[in-house]
Chains A and B, each alone.
Chain A
Amino acid sequence: AQSVTQLDSHVSVSEGTPVLLRCNYSSSYSPSLFWYVQHPNKGLQLLLKYTSAATLVKGINGFEAEFKKSETSFHLTKPSAHMSDAAEYFCVVSEGSRGFKTIFGAGTRLFVKA
C-alpha cells in the first residue's frame, strides 16, 4: 500500500526567504512522485515530477524537489519566495504511470508575508 504525508498543514515565510515544504511517502514499488500547486478557486497545476531519473528535479517557477529514497522523502524547495507563491501545495505519489493508483497528500498551505 502507498501513502503520502505532508508534514506541515501551514507554512509561513517572508518574501525573499527560502521555502521548504516537506513530504514523506511510502510505496511498495518504485513510485512516481509529484508536486502540484493550487491557487485559490483554481484547479491543480503540475509543478514538477520524479519518475526514476535524476533525483533532483527542477520544476516551474523556480521550485525544485529532491527524491531521497533512504529517507522516503520528496521535499519541495525554492530559494526565494514570491508573493505569487502563496497557494496550497500537494505532494502526490503514484505507482506506475496510469494514475489510478495515485494518492494525494492533505496539502500544505503556503503563506508569504511582505
Chain B
Amino acid sequence: NAGVTQTPKFRVLKTGQSMTLLCAQDMNHEYMYWYRQDPGMGLRLIHYSVGEGTTAKGEVPDGYNVSRLKKQNFLLGLESAAPSQTSVYFCASSYGVGQYFGPGTRLTVT
C-alpha cells in the first residue's frame, strides 16, 4: 500500500494564480482532511470530508475549496492564491481513531 500520497511536492505560485492539490489514499478510508502547517502553530484543519461527495469546513477554510468526487481522492483548490497561503499542506485520512498523513506539499505564493 502506498498509504496517503500528495501531488505536487513543491509549487511556487504568483499572487492571483490558481492551483489544485491532489491527495490520494489506498486504504479505503472514509474520512479525509486537509491541513496547513505554519511555524509555531501546529496543524490547522482547512476542510474535511466524511465520505464520497461530502465536504465540510474546518478551522481555516477561507480562500480554499475542496472536492471529494471519488472516495480515494480529496482535492484542495486555491482559486486566487495570496501570500498568506504560503504554507506546507498536509492531507490525512482515517477510518477509526488516529489519522494517516501524506508527505506534504510545500507551497510558496509570491
Contacts and interface: CB of A to CB of B under 8 A. Distances in A.
Contacts, number: 60
B74 interface: no
B97 A97 contact: yes
A96 to B, nearest CB: 9
A30 B80 CA distance: 40
A97 to B, nearest CB: 5
A100 B56 contact: yes
Contacts of B40: 9, 106-107
A44 interface: yes
Interface in A28-59: 32, 34, 36, 41-46, 49, 51
Contact of B33 (A36, A43, A100): A100
B1 to A, nearest CB: 15
A104 B33 contact: no
Contacts of A51: 97
Interface string B24-46: 00000001010100001111110
A94 interface: yes
15 contacts: A34-B98, A41-B104, A43-B90, A43-B102, A49-B97, A90-B42, A90-B43, A97-B97, A98-B94, A99-B92, A100-B33, A100-B58, A104-B35, A105-B42, A106-B41
Interface of B: 4, 31, 33, 35, 40-45, 48, 50, 56, 58, 90, 92, 94, 96-104
Interface of A: 9, 32, 34, 36, 41-46, 49, 51, 90, 94, 97-100, 102, 104-107
